[in-house]
Structure 1
Amino acid sequence: MTIIPTAKKLTPRAEAQSETTSPERLRELAQDPKLAKLVAANYMAPPDLLEELSHTSDKPLLKALVSNPNTPTEVLLKLGSLFPEQLLDNPVFDILLIENPNLLSEFPKSSLNSLLKREVAPVSFLRWAAANRDEKTLQSLLINPNVPVDVLQGLSQPGDWDVAMAAKLHVNSGVEVEPIWEEQGLKRRVPWQENELVTDFFRYVWPKLKDLALLDRWVRFNVASNPNCSGFSTNSTRY
């Protein structure tokens, strides 16, 4: 008599990860906090279950949701501010952009601004954002080191002072930093009663500091790390 081996029963953990697990069983497994993250990462989990799982403060679980192509679009855009890299890497994201060319305009501001700051943001996103006249969005854009030169030139034109100055001071602008710009910028951010202190700083202190401040970061790091240089610490390399 031939004995037919029975299929080995999967553990709950394996079930939560398996693409053959039924939606009903995934719902049951998701009730266990230890398995919910695995269910959130399962491509076969139904969208409505993934939406339910998004109502949590569990960051590893939310991160798994942003990576799951079955997660509803609204949830992806909402969580994009927390995990922009995972959003861009999600295989469904490019499809969403093709289906809806205006998708970026539908992003919650916090998600969009967080995404624009990241080096992984596509240049096409940066160019789109440059046409947006929202100051916070432009400020977020100008934190990104990959902003094209022509975009910086456009943003450095007269208009919003803070945006124009941030564009001129951008690493890709090629514009030499003028102390007067820094002085004017600082004066805009302190009470007017302290403006005289700002003027004194740039008149008497800044000339002695600017050469060190403008040195390449890695040069300063190596100087600070040299045992023959006293009075420095590697903390001085931080901005």
Structure 2
Amino acid sequence: MCGRFVVSQKVTDLTEVFDAENDYDDWEPRFSLAPTDSVPIVRERADSATGAFVRRVEPAVWSFHPSFMRDSKRPQFNSRIETVATNGLWKGAFASGRCIVPMHGYYEWTGEPGHKQAHFLRGPDDLLAAAGISTARKLDDGTWQVSTSIITREARDASGEIHDRMPVYLPLDAVDRYLDPTKLDAGGMQAMVDFLIEASDHVAPTITEYEVDPRVNNHRRIDPTDPSLIEPLETSGS
């Protein structure tokens, strides 16, 4: 599962890594992003003037909301890889709205309510490329809102002892294939699921975790721009 994550990179870092154009000028690094927050995604879509496909870093609401879905108080922020190609809520976006959700790492928790210990999970480098899906809907004021969901899989990393799910992380050299804007048919979607599983198997064992200060537990009471949120928790024995 992924219910809170970190993007420590500036937009210029993201555009350089993903060879993308910048469509998110006001992005600032965040060390605690929660469902319904605006997050950066990377996707390819046709330019309205030329029709050519362009890769961009752009904002999206982390709560998947296609135009056909009624308003819901429960944000849809994770999609299971087991059903992303077959579930009616996700499959249209998986066929033609694939995106990357960049992140430095993500949080998980252990323990009982009221006494939960926060853990930060990250890779060996500063940037992880999580597979996601995106969609767009027209709001009542006439503007368009892009929203996204992160695809998750069975945990095969350090989170396996903390939670049974983890994001589907791709090696950077697999990003181009995932972002290919070609619309997939049923067979193509299953082939893409197989590709995601195989590719993410290479990243999963590299994820490590450490405990962080439990103040991160309350997203509303912390400063999301504070980088100390991901500092390792000092123990009395250290």
In the superposition, the TM-score normalised over structure 2's length comes to: 0.19
Which protein, 1 or 2, shows the higher relative CO under an 8 Å CA cutoff with sep ≥ 6?
2
- CA radius of gyration, larger in: 1
